[in-house]
Amino acid sequence: MTRECIKTACPYCGVGCGVEVNATGIQGDKHHPANSGALCVKGSALAQSLDMPSRLLYPKLNGREITWQQATDMIANAYHDAIVHHGADSTAMYVSGQLLTEDYYVANKFMKGVVGSANIDTNSRLCMSSAVVAHNRAFGEDVVPVNYDDIDDADLIIICGANTAWTHPVLFRRIQQARECNPELRMVVIDPRETVTAQQADLHLAIPDDGDIALFNGLLRYCQDQGLVDQEYVAQHTSGLAALCEALAGSEYKVSALSNHLKLSQEQLTTFYRWFANTRKTITLFCQGVNQSQYGADKGNVIINAHLATGKIGYGGAGPFSITGQPNAMGGREVGGLANQLAVHRGFDQESIELVGEFWQTDNLATTPGLKAVEMFEAVERGDIQVIWIMATNPVVSMPDNNFVKRALKKCPLVIVSDVTSDSDIAQYADLLLPAAGWGEKQGMVTNSERMLTRQRQFIETKGQAKSDWRAVSEVGAKLCTLIEKPNAFEFATEADVFREYAAMTGINSSSDLLLDLSTFADITDEEYLNWQPVQWGGTRPFANGQFCFPDRKARFVVPAIPTAHNQSAWWLNSGRQRDQWHTMTRTGYIPHLAATEPEPTVYMNQRSAAYLDVNEGQLVSLQGEVTEHCIVAKAAIDNGLGARQLFMSMHWAGEYGGGSEVNAVVSREVDPHSGQPAFKSQRVAIQTVDAKTYGLYLGEKFVERRFAYQSFQSEENIGVWRFADTDNLDRDISEDLGQTPHKRKVVLELASGWLTVGYDEVGQERVTRSILIVSGQPIVTDASQLAILVGKPLSFSTLLAIAAQQESSELICSCFRVNDKQIARELESGNCNNLSQLQSKLKCGTNCGSCLPQIERLISHHQHTILVAK
């Protein structure tokens, strides 16, 4: 890889772990403040992620290679034509929290400063925009007032609407370590599902969908009734509590009424309320279960309200802690890459417009907010947008009602897509496809959840003609400046030039009450930029002095809306993340051990729901969106952590992996009115069993072109695994269809419930398996011993079969060493192993990245509990 040791940052989640690359590979950076050397399962697989299939190497116009010069001219001309003939607002850009700060800054300047439209929005709209609104409304600025170090200091950690054990694993491990060091530290998890995170909690509150507002309103009311409001803090540093208390004066906020409404016992509620009110060092960590809601902004504010009313903010170990999802979601917010922000934490007020206009030396500045993500694609569908540039995001999968986005893009005269792979779904909608430099090939700054700026560094050569996104935009920007006869606003030779200009721009905040000010870095040398060590803006303790960012320096309470009751008779579909996949799978789907934990599109429900629907594990069901009218098919699986009529599906399934079972096909476009963030977690759907006549499993090199009613793909070492099902009876011709790999021989074997074809070559006396096809009338649970008789070379063959057999009947716990729950249970039951370290030495599970430790610990404690009950 590289001889010297290069320090960079992980490109996945907002924990922002430091990474070191050297001759031995990619490891965690022991000296980075975010992770002290730890990496989760995704971070540990970064080296494998560099072998991306279908890497995009050249600019392509409708599939044909063109030069960068042609592409640049074409884009600049298209923006110019649209501006001249239809106005600046007929153009748009849709970017991503996975861009680096330099990319983001240049894109924002291009749209708002040169094109003259604020129609630049980002996938952070789907992710953090509710938290941004909540911070701005409460503090006067989008500031997260907590640090990771506070976790070690806290005595109560509340995790609300986040599955941290899976989504921010290194941070979760830090919480677990803090609990080991501090036996007083309690953990409360607020999540309608009993997640792996919730299983570790001292108290799990399984509230109904969007029950957070009532829960936290009740907390405030409790504090008030019990005389636990910090009157002095409230009087000196806040405003608006009286109005909020008035709104919460009704009997519906008494514990007895809330207990009914939230389906929690009075004891659970008062325990939570007492712990919160009486623990000085309390952190409330929150993420998408809060943000992705029709009430997302208000949900953020009820959490902040509770912290303000009890003064739990501004000192070590306390505060509301919105954690970011993407590696640079925070950097995008700093730069101002959302359509309703102008730049550097500035909005569209007159003073900001003047300061930004002057800094950018433009008389063409966007002066009103642009279109937010959903509105933007609606404008595309109406034909109001002539040209859109999509960068580092896959909206035809990740947007709600994704089929509408597909329809819209088909109508748009020019769709430009910058991506690293030509395999992504969005690449299929591009007229002009631009190759972006990927992680390891590019460099620049990212900011994590605790406002820490770390540099991503280049350690491999850029492939083909791929180019950093900031450079691609700068070249188009420069060309556009000549077309509109303006001086070039994009004279950046390096990332350092861009960063210096951005840092200088934040200086416009220095005479204001805003905390974002990086202007001390405006003049750093190239060398200083190169050797950048992590820096945190806003100081280590924002709001320590009780001074907030409004003119009166007081924080504000927000009176939230009261959620209307959801339709109780419909099934509730909740969606989110799996431990081992990243978003739409373009960077993790092809890594075998990451693909193994959830090998096909799966919809989870509890045992009683399955019985009610008369569906068995492994059978197919279809989901029909209440609003979108689309339908998807997925495999049913049991998760007793879900409540009645609750369904959960991961958001990842996309492209050839998911065969069309993208969950967003059944997700409506309903958004939070303040933030515009979609309510991904609150969908009503109809669910039905699918009358599948045939289930199939194929292990081979290439699958048939033919489409089945259901189909999925999983990447294994040197082989593909396809699962499929159909409502027709498939005949044996399919085994001919599948015989695209030239087999020397084929054997067909009748099984009890179907049939099996094995294709193999003969090599000397040995048989080498090339493909296996199993077709059955039932969901496939293979019997490896029955099939193994066929093989001349048992090892390779049985490995293939183990893949088939294992995943149907067990849950993969440790993906690094492929250890499943059955193996762990066997060791525990046989008495071979009694604790974690014995399991680790016997099976190696949990000895690499440790992302599965919470699940192994759960299996051990479950086993110990079973023994106790049996006694």
Ligand X SMILES: Nc1nc2c(c(=O)[nH]1)N[C@H]1C(S)=C(S)[C@@H](COP(=O)(O)OP(=O)(O)OC[C@H]3O[C@@H](n4cnc5c(=O)[nH]c(N)nc54)[C@H](O)[C@@H]3O)O[C@H]1N2
Q: How many residues bind ligand SF4 (CB under 6 A)?
A: 14
Whole-number Cα distances in Å, 424 to 150, 155, 377 = 39, 44, 19
Can residue 603 be called a binding residue for Mo ion (CB under 5 A)?
Answer: no
Picked from ligand X, Mo ion, ligand SF4, none, the partner binding residue 170 (CB below 5 to 8 A depending on kind) is ligand SF4
Q: How many residues bind Mo ion (CB under 5 A)?
A: 2
Site for ligand SF4 in 7-46 (CB under 6 A): 10, 12-13, 15-17, 35, 39-40, 42-43
Interface segment toward ligand X; rule CB under 6 A; list 78-86, 154-162, 342-350, 705-713: 154-162
Minimum distance of ligand X from residue 797's CB (angstroms): 33
Nearest to ligand X of 362, 424 (CB atom): 424
Minimum distance of ligand X from residue 593's CB (angstroms): 14
Nearest to ligand X of 281, 577 (CB atom): 577
Cα separation, 687 vs 665, whole angstroms = 14
Instruction: To the nearest 10°, report the CA torsion of 46, 48, 50, 51.
Output: -170
Q: What is the per-residue burial (b if ≥16 Cβ within 10 Å, else e) of 394-410?
A: bbbbbbbbbbbbbebbe
DSSP code of 871?
-
Minimum distance of ligand SF4 from residue 15's CB (angstroms): 4
Please name which of 80, 64, 63, 84 lies closest in space to residue 72, comparing C-alpha atoms. 80
Can residue 192 be called a binding residue for ligand X (CB under 6 A)?
Answer: yes
Query: Pairing mode, if any, of strands 555-556 and 238-239?
Result: parallel
Nearest to ligand X of 524, 570 (CB atom): 570
Find the residue with minimal CB distance to Mo ion: 325
Minimum distance of ligand SF4 from residue 439's CB (angstroms): 11
Instruction: To the nearest 10°, report the CA torsion of 161, 585, 11, 821.
Output: 60
- 755 in helix, strand or coil? strand
Nearest to ligand X of 326, 448 (CB atom): 326
Q: Assess contact for 480 and 76: CB atoms under 8 A.
A: yes
Picked from ligand SF4, Mo ion, ligand X, none, the partner binding residue 39 (CB below 5 to 8 A depending on kind) is ligand SF4
R_g over Cα of the chain: 27
Cα separation, 615 vs 624, whole angstroms = 16
Q: How many residues bind ligand X (CB under 6 A)?
A: 59
Which amino acid is located at 554 in the chain? K
Please name which of 393, 394, 422, 596 lies closest in space to residue 53, comparing C-alpha atoms. 422
Cα separation, 686 vs 633, whole angstroms = 12
Can residue 169 be called a binding residue for ligand SF4 (CB under 6 A)?
Answer: yes
Minimum distance of ligand X from residue 449's CB (angstroms): 10
User: From the list 111, 160, 379, 839, which residue makes contact with ligand X (rule: CB under 6 A)?
Assistant: 160
Nearest to Mo ion of 328, 606 (CB atom): 328
User: From the list 35, 167, 458, 712, which residue makes contact with ligand X (rule: CB under 6 A)?
Assistant: 167
DSSP code of 550?
S
Picked from ligand X, ligand SF4, Mo ion, none, the partner binding residue 577 (CB below 5 to 8 A depending on kind) is ligand X
Nearest to ligand SF4 of 7, 307 (CB atom): 7
Nearest to Mo ion of 127, 187 (CB atom): 127
DSSP 147-199: -THHHHH-SEEEEES--HHHHSHHHHHHHHHHHHH-TT-EEEEE-SS--HHHH
Minimum distance of ligand SF4 from residue 504's CB (angstroms): 29
Can residue 300 be called a binding residue for ligand X (CB under 6 A)?
Answer: no
What's the longest Cα–Cα distance across the chain?
87
Can residue 196 be called a binding residue for ligand SF4 (CB under 6 A)?
Answer: no
Q: Assess contact for 697 and 722: CB atoms under 8 A.
A: yes
Can residue 212 be called a binding residue for ligand X (CB under 6 A)?
Answer: yes
Can residue 166 be called a binding residue for ligand SF4 (CB under 6 A)?
Answer: no
Residues with Cβ within 8 Å of residue 866, at least 6 apart in sequence: none
Q: Assess contact for 114 and 477: CB atoms under 8 A.
A: yes
DSSP 832-856: S--SHHHHHHHH-TTSSS-TTHHHH
Can residue 170 be called a binding residue for ligand SF4 (CB under 6 A)?
Answer: yes
User: From the list 102, 209, 401, 726, which residue makes contact with ligand X (rule: CB under 6 A)?
Assistant: 209
Can residue 127 be called a binding residue for Mo ion (CB under 5 A)?
Answer: yes
Picked from Mo ion, ligand X, ligand SF4, none, the partner binding residue 681 (CB below 5 to 8 A depending on kind) is ligand X
Q: Assess contact for 609 and 646: CB atoms under 8 A.
A: yes
User: From the list 113, 218, 311, 325, which residue makes contact with Mo ion (rule: CB under 5 A)?
Assistant: 325
Nearest to ligand X of 394, 619 (CB atom): 394
Minimum distance of ligand X from residue 421's CB (angstroms): 5
Which amino acid is located at 353 in the chain? I
User: From the list 44, 49, 195, 668, which residue makes contact with ligand X (rule: CB under 6 A)?
Assistant: 195
Minimum distance of ligand SF4 from residue 164's CB (angstroms): 10
Nearest to Mo ion of 455, 583 (CB atom): 583
Picked from ligand X, Mo ion, ligand SF4, none, the partner binding residue 15 (CB below 5 to 8 A depending on kind) is ligand SF4
Q: Assess contact for 304 and 283: CB atoms under 8 A.
A: no
Structure tokens, 50: 């560099």
Please name which of 480, 399, 615, 469 lies closest in space to residue 99, comparing C-alpha atoms. 469
DSSP code of 532?
P
Residues that bind Mo ion (CB under 5 A): 127, 325
Residues that bind ligand SF4 (CB under 6 A): 10, 12-13, 15-17, 35, 39-40, 42-43, 168-170
Residues that bind ligand X (CB under 6 A): 13, 96, 98, 123, 126-127, 160-164, 166-167, 190-193, 195, 209-210, 212, 287-289, 292-293, 325-326, 391-395, 398, 418-421, 424, 426, 436, 438, 469, 574-577, 579, 581-584, 586, 651, 663-664, 667, 680-681
